[in-house]
Amino acid sequence: MSAHEANRSIMIHGFRDAIPIVVAYVPIAMTFGVLAASSGIPWPLCILISACIYAGASQFMLISLVSTGASPLSMAITLLLVNLRHFLYGTTLGPVFSSWPERLKWLAAFGLTDEVFAVSCRALDRRPNPSYQFTLILSCYIAWISGTTVGCLTGRAIPNSVSGILQFSLPALFIALLFLNYRKWTPLLAAACGAALAILFQYLELKSLGIIVGAMVGSAIGTLCSKWRTSPSE
């Protein structure tokens, strides 16, 4: 197999892995477009928000903040806190992408959504290929922008009740992709502990902090359990 054929095969693999995310992103992005347009945000700005922020939960939160008349500073701080979990994503995948040129690292970081991270975790046990990663990222990004555009243009075609259900599709998709990658008890225990802490902080009205604390504690538990399993018995 020539280098061109091998690279094409890798890109097809990346696109195939992106299909479940693409199928979910389009209706969710349409919902964002509908809600944003209904909130009085001009449709070009709606598309620009999706193109630049590219974070589903943050974009839906931004609509709520705009509708309540929040200041630009409070919006920026809130969105930053919500997206702090991406720091943990970067530290997880950073060593795997350490051999990449800096410009590729920046591009990969921009496209690292929750769902892309869940699929990219497969790269932890192999040498990652930029062709695979950027095919995955670009497919998901185009789906999100396309869905937003359609949502902005269709207006109120999606009922509010359906919109609320679709918003939950993002975390549901992330959980499904993550559990498909990891079926051993150690990662599942770490995920369960992190989720329990996040839910606890949710009840304490500290949602953003709960995401960070849950991820850190879950990661620590997973690391300790892995070391305990691999340590030689005395």
| Residue 125 DSSP symbol | G
Output 27 or 185, whichever has higher pLDDT. Answer: 27
DSSP 8-state secondary structure symbol assigned to residue 189 = H
CB-based burial, 184-206: b 16+ in 10 Å, e otherwise? eebbeebbebbeebbeebeeeee
Average of per-residue pLDDT across 17-36: 86
Q: How far is CA 167 from CA 32, 123, 173, in A?
A: 9, 28, 11
Please give the angle made by the CA atoms of 58, 60 and 61, to the nearest 5 degrees.
60
Task: Say if residue 127's pLDDT is above 70.
Answer: no
Taking each helix axis from N to C end, the angle separating 207-230 and 185-203, rounded to the nearest 10 degrees, works out to 160
Q: Residue 221: is its pLDDT beyond 80?
A: no
The pLDDT tens digits of the residues spanning 157-194 come to: 556 555 555 555 556 655 665 565 555 666 667 777 77
Mean pLDDT of the chain, nearest integer: 77
Highest mean pLDDT among 5-9, 97-101, 141-145: 141-145
pLDDT at 123 over 80: no
* pLDDT of 141 higher than 80: yes
Spatial neighbors of 113 by CB under 8 A, at least 6 apart, are 54, 55, 56, 140
Given a contact cutoff of 8 angstroms between Cβ atoms, the answer to whether 186 and 226 are in contact is yes
Tell me the C-alpha distance between 89 and 43, whole Å: 31
Structure token digits, residue 232:
């030689």
Quickly count: other Cβ atoms within 10 Å of residue 159's Cβ.
10
Is the pLDDT confidence value at 138 over 90? yes
Cα–Cα distance for residue pair 6/129, rounded to 1 Å: 11
pLDDT digits (tens, 9 = 90+) for 44-60: 889 999 999 898 778 88
> How far apart, in Å, do the first and last CA atoms of the chain sit?
49
Q: What is the pLDDT of residue 233?
A: 46
| Residue 75 φ/ψ, nearest 5 degrees | -65, -45
Range scoring the smallest mean pLDDT among 74-83, 167-176, 207-216:
167-176
- Tokens 């305990």 label which residue? 228
State the average pLDDT over residues 13-25. 89
CA distances for 29 relative to 149, 180, 189, angstroms: 8, 24, 32
Count how many residues are written for the chain.
Answer: 234
